Amino acid sequence: MAEEFFTHIFDNGLTLLAQRMEQVTSAAMTIALRMGSSRDPVGAEGSAAVAAHWLPRGAGDRDSRQLHDALDALGCQHHEEARSEYMILSSSQLGRNLPELLPISADMVRRPTLSNETFDSCRDLVSQSLSAIEDEPMRMCNVLIREKFYPDPLGRNPLGTKESLASLTPQDVREHLRKSFTPQGALFAAAGKFVWEELVAAVGRHFGDWQGEPPAEVSTKAAASGVTHINKPTAQAQIALAFPAACLTDDQYYAGRVAEMVLSGGMGARLFTEVREKRALVYAVMARYHCLKQHAGIFVYAGTTPEKAQETLDVTVGELRRLREGVEEEEVARARTQLKSALVMQGESTAARSEALVSDYDHLGRLRSLAEISDAVDAVTAGDVLAYVHAFPADDLTALMIGPAELDTTTLT
Amino acid sequence: MAEEFFTHIFDNGLTLLAQRMEQVTSAAMTIALRMGSSRDPVGAEGSAAVAAHWLPRGAGDRDSRQLHDALDALGCQHHEEARSEYMILSSSQLGRNLPELLPISADMVRRPTLSNETFDSCRDLVSQSLSAIEDEPMRMCNVLIREKFYPDPLGRNPLGTKESLASLTPQDVREHLRKSFTPQGALFAAAGKFVWEELVAAVGRHFGDWQGEPPAEVSTKAAASGVTHINKPTAQAQIALAFPAACLTDDQYYAGRVAEMVLSGGMGARLFTEVREKRALVYAVMARYHCLKQHAGIFVYAGTTPEKAQETLDVTVGELRRLREGVEEEEVARARTQLKSALVMQGESTAARSEALVSDYDHLGRLRSLAEISDAVDAVTAGDVLAYVHAFPADDLTALMIGPAELDTTTLT
C-alpha cells in the first residue's frame, strides 16, 4: 500500500497532519487540544472531562440539538474525551463530508456556547461515570494503577473526584477552556480519503485566523508508586502491576515493544503460557505498553480468584523478571511478526491511523511511515531485547490490588 | 470500492464464502461450526465454551505450545468463541499467510487433540469468566436480558452455570464436539487479500474430504420474558429492556434498522436527546439491534444512579412508545445517513466483513453487496418506519434490572 504523508504548520502554530489512503472511502479526523486532564487546576480536577461533554452542547449559531443533528446528518461518529495530555475530538465519516464537517468543528473548538444551563447536566454525567467505576473493579484497578505509576498529575483519573466535581463552576471551566484551546501546540490530523491541497485550504479557512497564547507547561511531582491494596468483597481478585519502559524517543523503543510481545504478544507468549495455559491461574492476563510524552510503562493486568491470587502474583512477577535470564531467537522472531502484523491491520483503519499521526508528531515531532516502523522492528535482535530488559528491569514494581484478601507483596519492590 | 464476492459449496456440504478486497494487505477468516452454546446438552451447559478453550490446546501433530507458536509465527490474531448458534473461530493476519494458516485451521477443526490433561484448566477458565460476571453488573445485565428474551435455549449464557460446569467430563465434551463439528452447515468465510482460485483449491485440499452428519436442529421453548429485578448494592442501577424486531429475512428489516437509528443512532437520536441530554438521567443509554436466525430484538440499556432509576425507566419506555406517534422525514434522513456511514466504515475492515459474510449467508442463504444494503436503506421512508413501529411495537417489554431498589414496572407489560 503506497503511503502518502503530509504536514503543514499554519502561522498561528496549528499543525495539520495527514495520511492519504487512496483505497478507502472514509476519513477519520483527530483534533488534539492542550486541555488534558493533567492541566485541570488543583481542586478543579475533572474540568476537562466536564468540558468534553459541554463542547457538543451548542456551538456557533447552533444550539445543542441543532449541532447534534448537523453531525448526525453528515454520518459522523464523533467522540470527545479528556486524556492526560490532550482533549481529543475524534470523528469518522465519509471522506467527502470533511468539507462540511470542518466549519462545524471550528465552531466547537473556537465558538462553543458553554451555557450555564447545560453545565450541570454535563457535570452530572461525569459524576455518574465516576461512580460507575465503583461497580467495575477491573476498570477501577486500571484507572488507579496509572494514578500511582505516573508522576502526578499525569496519571490522575480524568474524571476527577466527587469533591472536585462538586466545586466546579461554569465560569471556571469556561475560562480554563478558553485559555487552553489555542492553536499553539494543537494538532489536527486526518487519515483517509481527501485531497491534501483542499484540506490545507479548508483548515486554513476555518482555523487560520484562530489566535491564542500557548498554555504553560505542566509541572509534575514524583509518582506515588508503591504497593496499594484495596479491600473489597469482589468475586475476582484484581491485580495490576506497572514498571518503566522506553519512550518513543528512546533508541531502545523498538526493542522494548518486542520485549512486550515476548511477554504478552500472542497465545504462545510467556505470560499467557505460564500463568494461564500451564497453571489456569487466570482468565485474563496481559502486559501492555502505554506512554505519555516523557514517561512510559508496561502495565500488567491479571484477574483471578481470591484463592489463586497469591500464586498468580508470584508467577506473573517471576515471568517479568525471568526475561533477563535470556530470550530465544525464535520467540523474538515470533514477537517481531506479531508486532508487524498488528501494524498492518491498524494501518488499514483510518481511525487508528489518524490517532497514530497525533501520537507520532507529539512524541517525535515527525510522522513515521509504516515501512519505517516495520524496518525498525525487523532490526531488533534477541540481543537487543536482552539489553533492553536489563536497562528497564521489572525490579521496582508499582502494584495495585483489589480483592477480599491482602497478598504478600514483599518481593515486588 | 469495487466489490467482489464468491461462494463455493463443496461436495461434503462445507460452504466457502469470500469477499476479495483488492486494497488491503490483511485477510480475516471466520469459521462457523454448528456447536453453538444453544446445542449444549441439557445439564452440560457451558460445553461449547469449554471446547472453545480446548481447541487451541494442541491439534494434529502439534502440542499446545507448538500450536500457539505456529499461529504466532504467522502473526495471527485468533479467537475462539461459543455463541448461541455457532462456535466461531476467527483470525486476522496478512493475506499472504492464509496458505500456511489453512492446514493449521484444518488440524484444529478436524484433528484437535482434546487431551484429558488440558481439560480441567479450560473448564477453570470458563468458571472464572462466569464468576467475573458477578463483579460486573452491566455485563451481567446484558447477559441475563438475552436469557429472558430469546426462546430457551437460544439466549442462554454460553458460559453455563457453576453446577453444569462442574459436571462436565472430557469424554462428554469431546464426543459432543466430534458430533457437532461437521462440514454440513459449517460456514467458512474470508475477506481481504487473496486469490479466489487459490483459496478454493486450498480449502478443498484441507477440508474437502472432511465428513460428518449434520447435527439435529435445536428445539426451543417459549421465552421466559417478563420483568426481573436482581437486588444488589451497586453504585449504579442497571436497566435492560428488550422487545421483538424484524429478522434479516423480513421485508421490514431495513425499516427496522432505520427505526433503531432514530432511537439511538447518534447524539441527536431520541434516546440520547431525551434521556441523557435534556435530563442528564444516565451516563449511558442505547438501543441496539441483535438477531439470531429466527428471532431478533431491540435491546435497550441504561445505567444510572439508584435515585434516577425510576425516571430513567419511565422516560426510556416513553421514548420507545412515542415512535408510534410519528417520525419526521428529517430524522429518518439522518438515520439513513448514519446507517450508511457505519456501513462504509465496517466495509473497510476485513474482520467486520468476514463476520458479515457468515451472518448474511446464514440468515439469507446469500451474500449482500454493500451497494444492495445501501440502496435498501436509501429506500426507507418515514412512512415505512412508522409502519414498522406499529408492526413491532414496544408494548410487551422484557425487562431486567440490577440495583439496590425495586422499580415500579407496571407500565412495562
State pLDDT tens for residues A108-135.
999 999 999 999 999 999 999 999 999 9
- Subunit contact A305:B131, Cβ cutoff 8 A: yes
pLDDT of residue B370: 92
Give residues 320 to 339 of B whose Cβ lies within 8 Å of A: 330, 333-334, 337-338
Of B137, B234, B345, the CB nearest to A92: B345
With helix as H, strand as E and coil as C, how does chain B read? CCCEEEEEECCCCCEEEEEECCCCCEEEEEEEECCCHHHCCCCCCCHHHHHHHHCCCCECCECHHHHHHHHHHCCCEEEEEECCCCEEEEEEEEHHHHHHHHHHHHHHHHCECCCHHHHHHHHHHHHHHHHHHCCCHHHHHHHHHHHHHCCCCCCCCCCCCHHHHHHCCHHHHHHHHHHHCCCCCCEEEEEECCCHHHHHHHHHHHHCCCCCCCCCCCCCCCCCCCEEEEECCCCCEEEEEEEECCCCCCCCHHHHHHHHHHHHCCCCCHHHHHHHHCCCCEEEEEEEEEECCCCEEEEEEEEECHHHHHHHHHHHHHHHHHHHHCCCHHHHHHHHHHHHHHHHHHHCCHHHHHHHHHHHHHHHCCCCCHHHHHHHHHCCCHHHHHHHHHHCCCCCCEEEEEECCCCCCCCCC
- Subunit contact A277:B347, Cβ cutoff 8 A: no
Q: Find chain A residues with C-beta within 8 A of B78's C-beta.
A: 267
On whether any CB of chain A is under 8 Å from the CB of B138, the answer is yes
Of B77, B93, B267, the CB nearest to A71: B267
Quote the DSSP letter at residue A265. Answer: S
Mean pLDDT score of chain A, rounded to an integer?
96
| Nearest residue of chain B to residue A352 (CA atoms) | B349
Euclidean distance between CA atoms B67 and B64, whole angstroms: 5
Give residues 189 to 228 of B whose Cβ lies within 8 Å of A: none
Euclidean distance between CA atoms A173 and B85, whole angstroms: 50
On whether any CB of chain A is under 8 Å from the CB of B233, the answer is no
- Subunit contact B342:A75, Cβ cutoff 8 A: yes
| Nearest residue of chain A to residue B25 (CA atoms) | A344
- Cell numbers representing residue B242 in the block: 428488550
State pLDDT tens for residues A354-394.
999 999 999 999 999 999 999 999 999 999 999 999 999 99
Mutate to test the interface with A, among B93, B267, B377 (most CBs of A within 10 A): B267
Of B26, B269, B334, the CB nearest to A348: B26
Is pLDDT of A2 > 80?
A: no
State pLDDT tens for residues A236-266.
999 999 999 999 999 999 999 999 999 999 8
On whether any CB of chain A is under 8 Å from the CB of B273, the answer is yes
Of A72, A344, A349, the CB nearest to B265: A72
pLDDT of residue B325: 97
Of A26, A77, A136, the CB nearest to B348: A26
Binned at pLDDT 50, 70 and 90, residue A413 comes out as confident
On whether any CB of chain A is under 8 Å from the CB of B371, the answer is no
On whether any CB of chain A is under 8 Å from the CB of B137, the answer is yes
Q: Chain A closest CA to B220's CA: distance in Å?
A: 31
Instruction: Tell me which residue of B351, B197, B90 sits closest to A344, measured CA to CA.
Output: B351
Of B64, B129, B267, the CB nearest to A56: B267
Is pLDDT of A267 > 90?
A: no
Q: Find chain B residues with C-beta within 8 A of A304's C-beta.
A: 128
- Subunit contact B26:A122, Cβ cutoff 8 A: no
Of A236, A341, A350, the CB nearest to B131: A236
Q: Chain A closest CA to B44's CA: distance in Å?
A: 21
Residue A214 contacts residue A179 (beta carbons within 8 Å): no
| Nearest residue of chain A to residue B236 (CA atoms) | A132
SS3 A130: helix
pLDDT of residue A214: 87
Q: Find chain B residues with C-beta within 8 A of A266's C-beta.
A: 68, 71-72, 76-77
C-beta neighbour count of A306 within 10 angstroms? 15
pLDDT of residue A165: 98
Read off the pTM. Answer: 0.94
Taking residues A226-236, report their average pLDDT.
Answer: 95
End-to-end C-alpha distance for chain B, whole angstroms: 47
pLDDT of residue B216: 85
Mutate to test the interface with B, among A21, A258, A283 (most CBs of B within 10 A): A283
Give residues 62 to 101 of B whose Cβ lies within 8 Å of A: 64-65, 68-69, 71-78, 92-94
On whether any CB of chain B is under 8 Å from the CB of A396, the answer is no
Q: Is the dihedral of CA A270, A144, B238, A72 positive or negative?
A: negative
Q: Chain A closest CA to B75's CA: distance in Å?
A: 4
Q: Find chain A residues with C-beta within 8 A of B162's C-beta.
A: none
| Nearest residue of chain B to residue A133 (CA atoms) | B235
State pLDDT tens for residues A36-86.
999 999 999 999 999 999 999 999 999 999 999 999 999 999 999 999 999
Using only the alpha carbons of chain A, give its radius of gyration: 22
Q: Is the dihedral of CA B42, B44, B49, B51 positive or negative?
A: negative
Euclidean distance between CA atoms A51 and A170, whole angstroms: 9
- Cell numbers representing residue B223 in the block: 421465552
Is pLDDT of A1 > 60?
A: no
Of A72, A76, A277, the CB nearest to B64: A277
Mutate to test the interface with A, among B345, B354, B370 (most CBs of A within 10 A): B345
Give residues 236 to 265 of A whose Cβ lies within 8 Å of B: 236, 265
On whether any CB of chain A is under 8 Å from the CB of B7, the answer is no
Residue A57, classified by CB atoms within 10 Å of its CB into exposed (0-12), middle (13-18) or buried (19+), is buried
Give the bridge partners for B88, in sequence order. B32, B81
On whether any CB of chain A is under 8 Å from the CB of B340, the answer is yes
Amino acid in position B253: Y
Residue A391 contacts residue A255 (beta carbons within 8 Å): no
pLDDT of residue B10: 98
Q: Chain A closest CA to B56's CA: distance in Å?
A: 9
Euclidean distance between CA atoms B18 and B202, whole angstroms: 13
| Nearest residue of chain A to residue B277 (CA atoms) | A121
Is pLDDT of A277 > 90?
A: no
Provide block-wise average pLDDT over 10 residues at a time, chain B (413 residues): 87 97 94 97 97 97 96 96 97 96 98 97 94 93 97 97 98 97 96 97 98 90 96 94 97 97 93 90 92 97 95 97 96 96 93 97 96 96 98 97 95 89
Euclidean distance between CA atoms A315 and A323, whole angstroms: 13
Q: Find chain B residues with C-beta within 8 A of A269's C-beta.
A: 72
On whether any CB of chain B is under 8 Å from the CB of A113, the answer is no
Instruction: Tell me which residue of A362, A285, A366, A270 sits closest to A318, measured CA to CA.
Output: A270
